[in-house]
Structure 1
Amino acid sequence: MGTSVSFGKYSPSVVEDLDFDIEFSLDASQNTVVPLGILDFKNNYENPYFAFNYSLLKSPVEELHFQITDESGKPIYNMGYLEPIIITAPKKAKIQQDAKSNAPVFNLENPIKSWKYESIFKPYILTQPDFTQPGSYTIYWDGFDNDEVFDSKNFDGKRLIAKITAVKGSSQKSIEIDFTTIYNEVKWVDVKINKKTKKIDVELRVNLKDGGAEGFDIENYHEPLDDPRMPSRQRHPSEGIPKEYRDRMRYPPIMSPTRSYQQLEQLAIEGLNYHWGRNSNHFIAKNVLIAEEPYEINVNAVNSNDDVKAIDDISLIYNTNGPWMRSGNPGTVEGIVSAVGNLVSREAICYNVGYLKYSNGWGYRRESQEDLEFKDTAAHEIGHTVLKAYGGTTYSYGHKGSVNVVTQNKKSSAPTLPLRGEIDLMPYFRENELGGEGSQPNYHARRVAAEKDVLSLLWLTKIKIR
């Protein structure tokens, strides 16, 4: 700052010192971001912010502006609308340590996956006059745009540009940096989180295939007393249904599929949307709690043949007039357990209807019953892919600890079917005083993915920065 003197009359005037410098860079220590800081499977802290290093040198400035745009220059976030978190750089290490040590401890009985991490940052947040003074700072941005919406598609293999501008009088200086973001975990789920409406939309891409129909092809067989050297006889599968059972039930056998593949596909999609959604349309599971605030989660399952951006393919099979078919989804081979699973389990969701042979004899299942069961089964089997991606093979194959991982036999420690309230979609249950699943009131309506597992869909959109 200097003064000037006019001859004849002393007239001091201020000459503005416009000399300042700024430095700006991506904080390389924060190389992943999880929306809303959803904790990992073991409740380890996950970073919820993109972080940038900013320094102001020489003298104060009057204004500071921070902006994120996509590679075309379209704004995603402008500081003027929604303030980011800005702290002094020396406080960064302490905040990170506090956040890690204060994350909820994993509790199997109450597996909290969301917590108020903002409370760790709050005491250190600076206001506008503070960060316009010379010093070093960290700017945290949570990925939400100026409408308070986080759209994970903004970060799926995208190049972004961060820009900071400092203004003092007529002097203005800017620095731009570009960085890329990719999904770190899977490519088959996107989320859109709206903080204003407290709604979360999940797009879950599956790869459903037509597995054909069983129970209609002419089959070869021998009667028990036939000489095995004789040529086999032929019959329609429906002829193998015991006549006395058919006479008692009085239903004609199914001679052609009563559900097309397209109908099975739609049932599977509806099952995923209902049983993985937690919203006002669900019978009992109305929301999830994120930082103690209720959010509705709506799942929109989409059938896609994109092998890269969809869950590993699984077949839909129509089955009747023979043995009941077990559904399964062993998924990709990633170890001994999954290798064994692929050997012993088909990768299919089976629609079992009409006359069926069970381990204890023949039975009959109507379409109205099987529609509900098929929706439930589709949500359960495809849910194994979600559990495996979040918690690993043991968590998935073990049905959340309720069965032996290899034999799939139910454990004596498996939970008992709840008499009321939610029924977790993924574990096996022991009977309660009413009996098994068929004896429970509103059984299929009460079935839903647990809050922990639904929140894992958000965690699976974890972003890697580079």
Structure 2
Amino acid sequence: MSIYWGRNKNRKCGNFVTVVSDSYEVYINPIDTKDNAMNSLPLIYNTNNGWMRSGNPGGSYSDSNLDDDAMNLFPDTGIIQRLSYNAGYIKHGWKNDSKDGWRYHNELGVNNAYDAVMEFKETAAHELGYEFLQAYGGTVYSWQHKGSSYYLPQDTKPTKGNETTWEKVTHWDEMETDGENYPLSGEIDIMKYYNNEPNPKDISRLVAAEKDVLGLIWLTKLNIK
């Protein structure tokens, strides 16, 4: 969380937030506690198996949306809400792959396509970020990745003019937005889905957007004098 939700001088880009006309650096210090804490996410260690997706429908909020309440009726067993750590030999669902989808995910903590540590850090920041988006922006804003995906199923939205009739018919959309292409420069929003996303992504540019970090600060009810 401290890497991707902080906006400060330690980053390649996304170094501050602006309040009125002043710039502030933001540092995040996560605390492992059960007091005044948000929903916990079961941690699943997955190895020698198919790639396991993480998920977090978030908490229940008074935003006139009952879907989050319905999801939270399910027991917290790691089926819907979970943080998956994919390490060792992992099988991906790729078609016509020379290795039948199998790749070895090492644990070196380096930026490559198959590093379990770096993937997990990014995934954790993304999944826990749903809670922040939902708390200040509502369930639709969170579940649709700020308009970059559909509501259900949560597939990446096509860019303007490229949505097919099949996608219009089979996908539930609550936001009048178009999909976005992967940014070739500048910040990469940790909470958005992108078209044409490379593998691996440039994690040095991956960061929570200024609006979302300001939303997180707003949730703390911090008084700036």
TM-score for both structures, normalised by structure 2? 0.76
Q: For residues 51 and 71 of structure 2, what CA distance do their matches in structure 1 show?
A: 19
2:104 partner letter:
Y
Q: Secondary structure, in 3 states, of the residue corresponding to 2:102?
A: strand
Per the alignment, residue 424 of structure 1 pairs with: 189
Equivalent position of 1:408 in the other structure: 154
The structure whose residues are more often strand, as a share, is 1
Deviations 1:205-244 (A, max 9, x none): xxxxxxxxxxxxxxxxxxxxxxxxxxxxxxxxxxxxxxxx
2:81 to 342, 347, 355: 347
Structure 1 residues 439 and 352 mapped into 2: Cα distance closer, same or farther (>3 Å)?
A: closer
Q: State the AA in 1 paired with 2:204.
A: A
User: Displacement of 1:338 after TM fit?
Assistant: 2.1
Alignment correspondent of 2:173: none
Of the candidates 84, 92, 116, which is equivalent to residue 358 of structure 1?
A: 92
- Of the three residues 312, 337, 340, the one matched with 2:67 is 337
- Preserved contact between residue 337 and residue 406 of structure 1 (Cα < 8 Å): no
Whether the 8 Å contact between 1:416 and 1:430 is mirrored in structure 2 is yes
Deviation of 1:295 after TM superposition, in Å, equals: 0.6
How big is each residue's C-alpha offset from its partner over 1:288-334, in whole Å with a ceiling of 9 and x where there is no partner?
Answer: 1111221101111111022xx01111122211011111001112345
Q: Distance in 1 between matches of 2:71 and 2:221?
A: 28
Structure 1 portions without partners, runs of 5+: 1-271
**Does 1 or 2 have the higher relative contact order (CA < 8 Å, sep 6+)?**
2
> Which stretches in structure 2 are left out of the alignment for 5+ residues?
95-100, 109-114, 159-177
Divergent runs of 4+, >4 A:
339-345
Q: Which amino acid aligns with 2:17?
A: V
- Answer yes or no: is the 8 Å Cα contact 1:373–1:444 preserved in 2: no
* Residues 51-450 of structure 1 aligned to structure 2 (within 5 Å): 272-306=1-35, 309-333=36-60, 335-339=65-69, 341=71, 346-360=80-94, 361-368=101-108, 369-412=115-158, 413-431=178-196, 436-440=197-201, 443-450=202-209
**Alpha carbons 2:59, 2:131 under 8 Å: kept:** no
Q: Name the structure 2 match of 1:146.
A: none
Give 1:461 deviation, angstroms.
2.4
Given that 1:425 and 1:449 are in contact with CA atoms closer than 8 Å, whether structure 2 keeps it comes out as yes
SS in 1 for 2:42: strand
Alignment check: 8 A CA contact 1:275 1:379 kept = yes
Change (3 A) 1:430 1:292: same
C-alpha distance 345-339 of structure 1, shift in aligned 2 (>3 A): farther
Q: Root-mean-square deviation (CA), in Å?
A: 2.0
Deviation at 1:452? 0.2
Q: Which amino acid in 2 is paired with 1:460?
A: L
Question: Does structure 1 conserve the Cα–Cα contact (< 8 Å) formed by 2:56 and 2:81?
Answer: yes
**Is the contact made by 1:330 and 1:345 (CA closer than 8 Å) also made in structure 2?**
no
Which digits, 9 at most, give the CA deviation of each residue in 1:70-105, with x for residues without a partner?
A: xxxxxxxxxxxxxxxxxxxxxxxxxxxxxxxxxxxx
Question: What is the DSSP-based 3-state SS (H/G/I as helix, E as strand, rest coil) of the residue aligned with 1:320?
Answer: strand
Deviation at 1:283, TM superposition (A): 2.3
- The match for 1:456 is 215
Q: Return closer, same or farther for 1:318/1:395 CA change in 2, 3 Å cut-off.
A: same
Query: CA separation of 1:340/1:323 partners in 2, compared to 1, >3 Å: closer, same or farther?
Result: farther
Higher-Rg member (1/2):
1
Change (3 A) 1:425 1:345: farther
Give the length in aligned residue pairs: 184
- What is the one-letter code of the residue matched to 1:455? L
Amino acid aligned to 2:48: N
1:353 alignment partner, SS class: strand
- Give a deviation string over 1:350-380, Cα, whole Å, max 9, x none: 1101111211222221113121111111111
| 1:149-196 Cα distance to aligned partner (Å, 9 max, x none) | xxxxxxxxxxxxxxxxxxxxxxxxxxxxxxxxxxxxxxxxxxxxxxxx
